Structure 1
Amino acid sequence: MAKKKAAGSLKNGRDSISRRLGIKKYSGQLVKPGNIIVRQKGSKFFPGENTKMGKDYTIYSVSSGKIYFYKKKSKMIIKVNES
C-alpha cells in the first residue's frame, strides 16, 4: 500500500467563503441607524443624505427613515429620508 496520498487529493479541496455582496435593503423600506443597505466591491453606489460608506465600500444608514435610490448624472446615489 502507498504511504503517500495521491497528488490530486492534496491540491483540491480548498475554496474561499463567498462575500455575500449585494443590496440588503430596497427602495421604500424602513431602516434604523447602522443598518447595512448595500455591500459592494468598489463604489458602484454612492452615499447621499443620512448614509455613509465604510472602508470596504459598504453603505449604511446614519439615521432612521425610508430608503431612496436615485441617479445624479451617472452616479447611483442612496439616501435615507428621516420620517
Structure 2
Amino acid sequence: MAQKKSGGSSRNGRDSNSKYLGFKKYFGSFIKPGNIILKQKGNIFYSGLNTSLGKDYTIYSLIFGYIFLKKKNKKKIIYVL
C-alpha cells in the first residue's frame, strides 16, 4: 500500500467559528437596562457606574442612559449616565 495520501487531500481544512467580540453599542449611544455594551475576552475594559460585568466579561447596562468612557490609572472604564 502507498505510504502517502493522495495529492488532492488537505490536512488543514478546519477553522474555528467567529466569536462576535467587540462593541455592540458605541459611546454616546442611548441604551436600555440589560443592553450589552461590549463582549470581550478577559478584562480589557472595566465596568464602572451603572454597568455590570458578566461571568464571560460582558459589560452590560443597568439603567437607561448614555455610554461614556473614562481612563483612570491606565484602566479604561465604561459607565452609563
Moved >2 Å (runs of 4+): 5-14
Residue 26 of structure 1 corresponds to 26
Write out per-residue CA displacement over residues 36-83 of structure 1, whole angstroms, 9 at most, x where no aligned residue. 1011111010000110011111101011100001101110000010xx
**Unaligned stretches of 5+ residues in structure 2:** none
State the superposition RMSD in angstroms.
1.8
Greater helix fraction, Structure 1 or Structure 2: 1
User: Within 5 Å, which residues of 2 pair with 1:4-83?
Assistant: 6=6, 9=9, 11-81=11-81
**Number of corresponding residues:** 77
Identity %: 57
Write out per-residue CA displacement over residues 11-38 of structure 1, whole angstroms, 9 at most, x where no aligned residue. 3432211111111111110010111101
Structure-1 separation of matches of 2:7 and 2:37: 45
**Cα offset, 1:9, TM superposition:** 3.8
